A and B are shown apart, each in its own frame.
Chain A
Amino acid sequence: MTGVLNTVGAPLERLEGPAKVTGTATYAFEHRPDDPVYLHPLQATIARGRVTNIDTAAAESLEGVHTVLTHTNAERLASTPDSELAVLQSDEVGFRGQLIGAVLADTPETAHHAASLIGITYERHPHDAAFRDDSDVVYTHDGSNPMMSADLVHGDVDTALAAATFTLDATYTTPAEYNNPMEPHATIACWQDGELTLHDSNQGSHVVRAVVAPLLGVEPERVHVISPHVGGGFGAKGMPHSHVILVALAAKALPGRSVKCALTRQHMFSLVGYRPPTVQRIRLGADSEGRLTATGHDSLEQTARIKEFADQSANASRNMYVSPNRHITNRLAALDVPPGTWMRGPGETGGMYALETAMDEMAQVCGVDPIEFRLRNEPESDPSSGLPFSSRNLVACLREGAEKFGWRHRDPTPGVRREGDWLIGTGVAASTFPTLSFPGSMATIRCCSDGRYRVDIGASDLGTGARTALSQIAAEALEVSVEAVDLHLGSTTQPFASLAGGSAGTASWGSAIVHVARTFREEHGSTPEPGAETTATAPPNPAAGEYSMHAYGAQFAEVRVHADTGEIRVPRLLGVFAAGRIINPRTAHSQFLGGMTMGVSMALHEHSVTDERFGHVVNQDFAGYHIASNADIGSIEATWLDEYDPHVNPMGSKGIGEVGIVGTAAAVGNAAHHATGIRVRELPLTPDKFLISP
């Protein structure tokens, strides 16, 4: 299905690149309304209880302050099924940092200063913010949430473990990690004549509309969301968070005025979600040939008492490797903490860290090379559903990666290679992420007077290159050059599109564009009149439910650990991916590199520390919450196999935004073990964990 003009597959530069590097691409907060009002949020400083009084007199008497919004004067929302979004609807506090008010003033500085003059009194209730395995807080979800899959039990793991030649029983922990996109969340809201306009940084304008409209009790068509450029989201902008509702309420209180709010980095540690911390126990059993006979994966994750969110990390072990006996459980510990959310590779990222570390340990227990061990446990069809794989090239990724990385010459003995003061090791881990596609995306294609084609779709470009890739898909489907396509996205003025998430953006939107382009050609032929136009919705994928669809990869890491200080470095990383047809090699390469870089960051640094006494993350800025710096990143090579998957979507492509981060941390940890002989089962891998005191 190669396009005649070779548009898909060309390493096109990002179309908005020049605008971004010259600072002319406008992000949400850079929109400049006339005479704006600035909002500074007020946050609870207790973790559970009630606000009994808010003294706003001093703040309101400051020159330039318009009003202070609290639960006592804010408008009632029309519906509040989601307690995270029930902003200022009651005096209750469910977590520290929760929004309890807002100051509206002429300048951000005045709003900030006024906020510091507000006296708040509380009735404190005992809170519980200690993540632990304790029946007081741990529960099994009731299945009411369709996004939550139940436990998986195949065969009898305990009996199989008792009969196994080789066994492993190990527990891994991952801390809460924060998405921290480069661009903090920002919203500008304006109510005029019963219409709400939001300039907002998000992963889906239509999603924001769909969530916000019923809360405010207005028709969705009266909510307009504009987000042409977004500086990253990684899941934290997937759903609107409470600040969006707060700003909308504030704007309603000041009709005709634009209310601007930019969250600070500190705000983001309580208001926009995070990857919940996990404790994961993995039990593996294998026969004398190193073939898995039992797989147990029990995951415990933190959730917020006010709003359930489950990463379900144990699901990573549902269909990765063969195992006749399998027991997968996901449990939640409900605490008085901020709600978690999706973060790049939700579920798989944490779950595969545990599974792929366990696979490395188990390979050693069995005395088998870790790549060979994975090859011996490669399933022919999806082990949990029994469906055939639409395509699965993990083995090819491992083989090609091994060749490129020089795995053949590797001595498996840990802790025996040294250069100067540095101990050296190498490690491998597999990556995977489901290939998803969300239903319902629509697009409009119109022939313009200059003979070019205008494509409108309410999709989002978070900085991934979606605008560019979609233009290429449109060009191929219309059989024109990409220069003849003028693609518009990022707004509810365009037809409905699903959110940018689940690595499903390009697949969902691309399916709509291909379908509309074909329909357009059917309706208007190859030489359409200017003004010819077609709007249509992507049909559901006929192969859905027939195949198990996933992207795969193999990651290889070289790690150095300082023999005296335990400092750990990753000079070399290689990722080989099998992710369907690659629409744009340049932007795809960036996605893989970005995922792997974030994976190194997860492996070595990212760690939010909740102080249980207060109930909030105390290292709530970039000096305290470390993300890999340039100096932490050595050589990263990302390549991919030539894969075309006819079952997943009309492009033959798979999502690539998330598979790149999955497995990196395990590869790094496995290499650190190979370097030092020290097995760390708790992320991040900080120097203290590798200190050897003579």
Chain B
Amino acid sequence: MKPFDYQRATDTDTAVATVSRNPNARYLGGGTNLVDHMKLGVSSPELLVDVSRLSSDTVETLPDGGVRVGAAVRNSDLAAEPIIRQRYPVLAHALLAGASGQLRNLATTGGNLLQRTRCVYFQDVTTPCNKREPGTGCSALDGYTRYHAVLGSSEHCVATHPSDMAVALTALDAVVHTQGPSGPRSIPVADLHRLPGDEPDRDTVLEHGELITAVDLPALPMAARSNYRKVRDRASYAFALVSVAAAVDIAGDTIRDVRIAFGGLAHKPWRATLAENALRGAPATEATFRTAADAELAEARPLSDNEFKIPMARNTLTSVLRDLTQQEGS
């Protein structure tokens, strides 16, 4: 681990200015991902600016009925927040499905969104990786790909984004607020993460030095009927093979509206718009669910170790929709 300086940020402007002008400076949230990367040699910042006490660590209701989550809110606290549990159960479930209790106590909302892939080659500096060292090649392509992407990948990178929380936020149409070298902006979570294309080193659309300050959830009443289902290799404390975040609005037997995002399938949380389109206005039947899943997964391209993800994603989505549509009124 390279020696580094540490500063605790006292105000947003200084923090943004400090990190923006130093290409080797990084923000530090809970440190549960960044510090691991420093130990592994994946990241060697010379300056850490601790923002875990800078941004708001509270969850507040907005005048339009939405909810604002400060970037420093810890994953455990967010999952326990009554508003979140009642109005956005998908988010509470996603948070609790991630990592372990100890990690969630440290992990921040901002840091969770920006955690990096768990691709084993990315984390191992003795193997080539385009994301870690652009141009060296992608070791995963012909390697161990059980946890890798089946949608939206490129020949340069087939990694997945590991966050559970981000999948729920994507389904919920959440919006990220940032403060960057060129001022504040708002970005839908669905547009925050990138597909790898030929720049797999860029996980997100953020500029260097751009600080996440908060995440807004829209009012979205249908989110009260939502769920997160994570399928993994052990009962807890494992990253998703496949996960589904979904919310439905159902009238009688008809799906009026629906939100779906997949985790574990792509370089970003995968908003399933094709599946949503197939479901809107359709009857809530097993056949509709499967048709919708197939519509979304038609373009999926498996790698050597992860062909199972396609039927697993289809079955998991079907199972989640079955449960959600049968939930009330029964």
Contact A569–B143 (Cβ < 8 Å): no
Q: Chain B nearest CB: distance from A341 CB in Å?
A: 23
- Closest residue of chain A to B315, judged by CB? A564
Chain B residues with CB below 8 A from A678, complex form: none
Complex Cα distance A275/B258, Å?
49
Complex Cα distance A203/B314, Å?
49
Complex Cα distance A567/B127, Å?
32
Q: Using a CB–CB distance below 8 Å, which chain B residues touch chain A?
A: 1-3, 41, 118, 120-121, 123-124, 126-127, 139, 142-144, 146, 231-239, 241-242, 290, 308, 311-312, 314-316, 318-319
- Closest residue of chain B to A108, judged by CB? B1
6 A-B contact pairs sorted by A residue (CB < 8 Å): A611-B139, A623-B118, A624-B118, A631-B237, A632-B235, A632-B236
Q: Chain A nearest CB: distance from B174 CB in Å?
A: 26
Other-chain residue from B118, B146, B234, B315 in contact with A693 (beta carbon distance below 8 A): B315
- Closest residue of chain A to B290, judged by CB? A694
Chain A residues with CB below 8 A from B312, complex form: 565-566, 687-688, 691
Q: Chain B nearest CB: distance from A688 CB in Å?
A: 4
Q: Using a CB–CB distance below 8 Å, which chain A residues touch chain B?
A: 45, 109, 112-113, 116, 421, 564-567, 569, 604-605, 609, 611, 613-614, 616, 618-621, 623-624, 626, 628-632, 686-688, 691, 693-694
Chain A residues with CB below 8 A from B118, complex form: 623-624
- Closest residue of chain B to A109, judged by CB? B1
Contact B120–A626 (Cβ < 8 Å): no
Complex Cα distance A632/B127, Å?
32
Contact B236–A565 (Cβ < 8 Å): no
- Closest residue of chain A to B100, judged by CB? A629
Main SS of the interface on chain A? loop
Given contacts A687-B312, A693-B311, contact A624 B1 (CB under 8 A): no
Contact A630–B233 (Cβ < 8 Å): no
Complex Cα distance A626/B238, Å?
8
Contact B236–A629 (Cβ < 8 Å): yes
Other-chain residue from B120, B142, B315 in contact with A691 (beta carbon distance below 8 A): B315
Complex Cα distance A632/B314, Å?
25
Contact B308–A691 (Cβ < 8 Å): yes
- Closest residue of chain B to A622, judged by CB? B237
Chain B residues with CB below 8 A from A112, complex form: 1
Given contacts A113-B2, A564-B319, A611-B144, contact A687 B235 (CB under 8 A): no
Other-chain residue from A116, A564, A629, A630 in contact with B41 (beta carbon distance below 8 A): A116
Other-chain residue from A618, A621, A632, A686 in contact with B144 (beta carbon distance below 8 A): A618
Complex Cα distance A604/B233, Å?
8
Complex Cα distance A272/B229, Å?
38
Contact A109–B3 (Cβ < 8 Å): yes
Complex Cα distance A687/B1, Å?
37
A-B contact sample (19 more), CB < 8 A, given A567-B235, A628-B234: A564-B319, A565-B316, A567-B231, A569-B235, A605-B233, A605-B234, A609-B146, A611-B143, A618-B120, A618-B143, A619-B120, A620-B120, A621-B123, A631-B237, A686-B233, A687-B233, A688-B241, A691-B308, A691-B311
- Closest residue of chain A to B318, judged by CB? A564
Q: Chain A nearest CB: distance from B79 CB in Å?
A: 16
Chain A residues with CB below 8 A from B144, complex form: 609, 611, 618-619
Q: Chain A nearest CB: distance from B257 CB in Å?
A: 24
Q: Chain A nearest CB: distance from B149 CB in Å?
A: 16
Complex Cα distance A611/B146, Å?
13
Q: Chain A nearest CB: distance from B132 CB in Å?
A: 14
Chain A residues with CB below 8 A from B233, complex form: 605, 626, 686-687
Complex Cα distance A569/B238, Å?
15
Given contacts A618-B143, A619-B144, contact A624 B241 (CB under 8 A): no
Chain A residues with CB below 8 A from B319, complex form: 421, 564-565
Complex Cα distance A616/B120, Å?
12
- Closest residue of chain A to B142, judged by CB? A613
Contact B235–A629 (Cβ < 8 Å): yes
Chain B residues with CB below 8 A from A686, complex form: 233
- Closest residue of chain B to A693, judged by CB? B311
Given contacts A604-B234, A614-B127, A687-B231, contact A113 B316 (CB under 8 A): no
- Closest residue of chain B to A569, judged by CB? B235
Contact A564–B241 (Cβ < 8 Å): no
- Closest residue of chain B to A614, judged by CB? B127
Complex Cα distance A565/B309, Å?
10
Complex Cα distance A349/B318, Å?
39
Q: Chain A nearest CB: distance from B21 CB in Å?
A: 25
Contact A629–B234 (Cβ < 8 Å): yes
Chain B residues with CB below 8 A from A624, complex form: 118, 120
